[in-house]
Chains A and B, each alone.
Chain A
Amino acid sequence: MHRVGGVIVSHGQLANELLAAAETVIGDLQNVAAVSIGWHDDVEAAKAEIRRAISSVSQGAGVLLMTDMFGGTPTNISAMFLDEGEIEMVTGVNLPMVVKFATHSKGGTLSDIAKDVEEQGKQSIYRTASLFAPAKSKKDA
């Protein structure tokens, strides 16, 4: 069955490192590529690199672009590729989002996966003080 492909696009080396971290915990991710856009890279060169990455992971089931920050250059360039039903984008990528993407079930549609990844990203942020404080007082908590 064809799987939805994923491309992480970021400033600096963030995209490569997010992918490397996800692969360390989950294993090799064939359907995910990373594009790290250098701070001084030419827009056309960056665009060509994203295009190459999209075709490298595309299996005909659509591609989800996961970018680092809404309003930033990686997101703005990625937005040029948006194509309803074919290419979607979710911004603010974090490690749980990449893990969520990588572990989605094979039959999921691009739209379902995009929604799940967005929700996961939001749900994965905790202000931890209240979570960990009580456990500290009990050795065997």
Chain B
Amino acid sequence: MLETTVRVVNHLGLHARAAGQLVKLARRFTSRITLRKPDGSAEADARSMLSVLTLAASINSRLIVEIDGADEREAMDAITHLFEQGFGEL
């Protein structure tokens, strides 16, 4: 199991199109990928867009990414990269 904290850097936050990209990426891996607010107030399955949107993660918010499964290393690299790139919106 891997865990890291990512920051939302794009201006619009984790909005619908960004969430759509995240979900598409998450579905490429077999590992279970969970996003959690650091204060524990919300948790989302990265494979479900509607679940991801409930995080309402705006710019500069931090999220804990937890990945568990056979391809967790590759999945973590890809997911953190997507956040760093601001979902291609920077």
A99: which of B50, B56, B61, B62 is its contact (CB, 8 Å)?
Answer: B50
Chain A contact residue count (CB 8 A cutoff)? 16
B17: which of A25, A120, A141 is its contact (CB, 8 Å)?
Answer: A25
Which residues from A are CB-within-8-Å of B53? 96
Contact code string B4-31 (vs A, CB < 8 Å = 1, else 0) = 0000000000001101100110000000
Question: Which A88-141 residues have C-beta < 8 A from chain B?
Answer: 96, 99-100, 103, 120, 124, 131-132, 135, 139-141
> Distance in Å from the Cβ of B66 to the closest Cβ of chain A?
20
* Interface contact A140-B60, CB-CB below 8 Å: yes
* Interface contact A103-B17, CB-CB below 8 Å: no
A132: which of B16, B49, B50, B56 is its contact (CB, 8 Å)?
Answer: B56
> Distance in Å from the Cβ of B50 to the closest Cβ of chain A?
6
Which residues from A are CB-within-8-Å of B61? 135, 140-141
